[in-house]
């Protein structure tokens, strides 16, 4: 058969396939989330996120040594405080769990890039991402003051980058101003810009003990049906001073990642969230999918346009890229 064009020529063997491969995952693309808890000598596997741990500050060093040896250099810190209250006070206390963790990490490592999640839901007794009015609404503008304080307290403790995940209006601008006022104009903001009101956060809420005690997050997180709104959110966040924008979750929103990548010239992060992780881990554990599905899923996030991937799979990917998976 005469055929001038035969796409299979470029798939003939491993060598040619690697030469024409368009997308590659790198360890440098990955950010690994870590959950820090109060107490001593705690390293407890998180039921809802197998392979990930609740760690006390004194056990952080060994965990970070492990990921560092794998080549992972970027972490996203979440704190789980002992005491929650209406105002989420531990979130901005000098001796809050995240602040202590940052100081400990900086004491031990100078080549680990520390990003902190800025939100109130782990710290408030009602589990919402903001301050409540007396009628139980989330008070947007009042919440901004707290988010500003949290960001400054993380920067004071030594965070390299802050990542607001609360979805209040105007928070990026407010945090930018708060940081600048205190001399932290060099600290970048990675905004959770297109953060959807998603069912895929279930395992995280168990891990972080942050499920809302009433209602849901639909008055602040985005409607999963909306793509254009994501563009508007990103536009606003960039205007307010975001340095990196994020889409979250990742896999069910690859189209949104792509739209943002094509519409803006700014680094795009994607959060491969807890529910995406659980689905794959369970499918592999039960023999339904092969382990290769993990790399395929992460690669698809990169192919869609993400520059940065936040993922609980970071260790597995690092091992795979090193060739010992
Ligand atoms: C805090 C926050 C959440 C996640 C990251 N930051 C939970 C939520 O919004 O309910 C979810 C991460 C994941 O599911 O892996 N607001």
Q: Is 303 annotated as a binding residue?
A: no
Q: What is the dihedral of CA 29, 304, 50, 154, to 10 degrees?
A: 50
Domains of the chain: 24-322 (3.20.20.70)
| CA of 262 relative to ligand 1 center, distance in Å | 26
* pLDDT tens, residue by residue, 224-263: 999 999 999 999 999 999 999 999 999 999 999 999 999 9
Packing angle of the helix pair 60-69, 314-322 (nearest 10 deg): 30
Q: How many alpha carbons fall within 13 Å on the CB side of residue 186?
A: 5
Smallest CA separation from ligand 1 atom 6, residue = 165
Does ligand 1 come within 6 angstroms of the Cβ of 147? no
Does ligand 1 come within 6 angstroms of the Cβ of 116? no
| CA of 167 relative to ligand 1 center, distance in Å | 11
Q: What is the mean pLDDT of residues 283-304?
A: 97
Contact in structure between 207 and 46 (CB atoms under 8 Å): yes
Q: Dihedral sign, CA of 270, 68, 296, 302?
A: positive
Greater model confidence, 212 or 269: 269
**What pLDDT is attached to residue 325?**
46
- Residue whose C-alpha is closest to residue 122's, from 38, 15, 17: 38
| CA of 292 relative to ligand 1 center, distance in Å | 26
What was the ipTM of the complex prediction? 0.96
Q: Is 205 annotated as a binding residue?
A: yes
pLDDT more than 90, % of the chain: 92
DSSP code of residue 48 = T
Give catalytic residues, as residue numbers: 195, 248
Does ligand 1 come within 6 angstroms of the Cβ of 276? no
Does ligand 1 come within 6 angstroms of the Cβ of 274? yes
**What pLDDT is attached to residue 262?**
97
**What pLDDT is attached to residue 324?**
54
* pLDDT tens, residue by residue, 26-68: 999 999 999 999 999 999 999 999 999 999 999 999 999 999 9
pTM comes to 0.96
């Amino acid at each position: 058969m005469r055929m001038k064009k035969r796409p299979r020529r470029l798939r003939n063997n491993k060598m040619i396939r690697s030469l024409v491969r368009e997308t590659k995952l790198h360890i440098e693309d990955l950010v690994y989330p870590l959950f820090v808890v109060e107490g001593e000598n705690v390293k407890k596997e998180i039921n809802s996120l197998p392979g990930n741990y609740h760690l006390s500050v004194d056990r952080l060093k060994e965990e970070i040594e492990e990921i560092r040896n794998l080549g992972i250099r970027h972490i996203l810190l979440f704190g789980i405080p002992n005491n929650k209250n209406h105002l989420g006070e531990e979130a901005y206390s000098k001796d809050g769990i995240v602040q202590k963790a940052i100081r400990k990490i900086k004491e031990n490592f100078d080549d680990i890039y520390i990003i902190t999640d800025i939100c109130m839901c782990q710290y408030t007794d009602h589990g919402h991402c903001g301050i409540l009015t007396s009628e139980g609404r989330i008070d947007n503008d009042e919440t901004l003051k707290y988010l500003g304080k949290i960001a400054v307290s993380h920067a004071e403790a030594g965070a390299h980058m802050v990542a607001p995940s609360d979805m209040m209006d105007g928070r990026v601008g407010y945090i930018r101003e708060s940081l600048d006022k205190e001399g932290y104009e060099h600290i970048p903001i990675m905004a959770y810009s297109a953060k959807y009101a998603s069912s895929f956060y279930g395992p995280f809420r168990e891990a972080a003990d942050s499920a809302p005690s009433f209602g849901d997050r639909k008055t602040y997180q985005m409607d999963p049906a909306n793509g254009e709104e994501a563009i508007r959110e990103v536009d606003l966040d960039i205007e307010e001073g975001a340095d990196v924008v994020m889409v979250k979750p990742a896999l069910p929103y690859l189209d949104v990642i792509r739209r943002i990548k094509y519409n803006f010239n700014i680094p795009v992060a994607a959060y491969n969230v807890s529910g995406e992780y659980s689905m794959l881990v369970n499918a592999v554990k039960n023999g339904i999918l092969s382990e290769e599905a993990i790399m395929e899923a992460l690669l698809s996030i990169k192919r869609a346009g993400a520059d940065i991937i936040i993922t609980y799979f970071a260790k597995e990917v690092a091992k795979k890229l090193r060739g010992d998976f």
